[in-house]
Amino acid sequence: MIRSLDPRTGEAFGPEFSATTNNEIDGIVGAAASAFSTWSRTSPRKRAFALRAVADALDAQSEALVAIADRETGLGIGRLAGEVGRTTFQIRTFAGALESGDFVDSHLDAAVDGPLPAGHPRFVRTTVGLGPIVVFGASNFPFAFSVLGGDTASALAAGCSVVIKAHSAHPQTSQKVFDIALDALVKSGAPTGIIGLGHGHEFGKVVISDPRISAGSFTGSKSGGRALFDMAQARISPIPFYGELGSINPVVATSSALADPTQFAVAYLDSLLLGNGQFCTNPSILFVPRNEEFLSALENNLSGREAQPFLSPATKELHDRNRAILSSSTQGIIIKAKEAPAKGLYTDAQVHIFQTSQISTLEDLHREYFGPTGIVITYENVESALSIINQLEGALVASIFAHESDEGVKDILSSLTRIAGRITWNSWPTGVAVTTGQHHGGPYPAATSPLHTSVGIHAITRFLRPISFQGFQDELLSSLTYENRSN
């Protein structure tokens, strides 16, 4: 049985959710497969209408949703209200893309008389939805990366049906969002099986192996995502699996960035500890020239920071285990914040900043500390910093704080470009805009596919496949392609 846990108190509350049985899973996936045959041939305009209806319904019940999510996650009313707004914004963004024809326009290659290769018949190249998709909800974003988050919204926009695994850290929030969304979709003309929801650890394993599922999308831990990726590839017919597996997000500052050491220290801590460090874009490793005023400001400001709860017992356990390994292997200074409350899902030793000039092992560099733990590496020159940066694995995002004329900036940029999916200039990595230019992905292990993004309008391409029709005329294709966008 699955039950909500209040991270502030450690107490269970609310209804119990039974793990979805294999028979129930078969029914959910079967309904999704049936719904796909209808939804995939529904015009973009009608899909956009349904997506907007979902966004409106979620906004209308935002207050109730936020209250439940706050009790289940401890993330705070303000943060969660903003996340609902982000969620409905991205749903409407995909609706707008459908209405404007983005990513769904067909491309006509007119016939050319003559023999190959110069001559060729008429081609219409377009895209079609992959099929039913399984989406794994994330723990740290109960709205924006969960039941009706960007993965589900982009898959629906692509013409796919979606089977969703609810995250055990917020089952009530997941169920309520699902109920609201399904009601809005069906009232807008979508088939009843267009989305389905399941609970329990085994649910994901069964669904990802189901031959009716055409792709998977995941936001979470490296170990969990890799296990599902391997299952998706081990199928008789392998399928795409778009896993966002967390990240070590390096931030490199030059001496010019420390003109105001105190301000920089405060900004770093604000980014590092956003959401108790449980963002996939928190600045895990900070490279700075040794500056005593900065280190002092870091200690002074951190000493006044209040502890925040973890999202779940599993998240806390993994963080504490990884931090213990780092503490035993890294030589340096440990800067601590206030003691955490004894009750609730708080780490045993509150916030830790490890300040060192070197890392003992590559494992310490590659290990994600998903929580209130940061590593500050002080360097003597750019070459010494680059010697460490060049050993880092793939990252979702990297940041540079510098002046363009600073020595070594181009070398730093070149090294970070090799490993990161997004690079920010004089801005912290937290805060992922939902926009056309966004790329939220990166080389493995940040993501299982560095070619795709899970945030921004280009996320829809994960669930579309190209198809060419040779020699057909528009009349016959109108029921199969998006030529009839006005219908």
Residue 244 among the catalytic residues? yes
Residue 166 to residue 204: CA distance in whole angstroms: 9
| Token pair 């290990």 in the structure block, residue | 367
Residue 422 to residue 308: CA distance in whole angstroms: 28
Report H helices in 188-335. Answer: 201-208, 222-234, 261-272, 292-302, 313-329
List strands edge to edge, sheet with 241-244: 195-198, 162-165, 133-136, 215-219, 241-244
Give Cβ neighbours of residue 180 (< 8 Å, ≥ 6 apart). 54, 57, 58, 61, 65
What residue type is 166 in one-letter code? A
Choose the catalytic residue: 72, 83, 280, 368.
280
What residue type is 122 in one-letter code? R
Q: How many CB atoms lie within 10 A of CB 1?
A: 9
DSSP class of residue 447 equals B
Residue among 429, 458, 153 nearest 271 (CA): 429
What residue type is 82 in one-letter code? G
H-helix or E-strand containing 46? helix 44-60
Tell me whether the omega of the peptide bond preceding residue 211 falls within 30 degrees of 0, making it cis: no
Residue 280 among the catalytic residues? yes
Choose the catalytic residue: 72, 83, 160, 244.
244
Q: How many CB atoms lie within 10 A of CB 457?
A: 22
Point out the residues that are catalytic.
244, 280
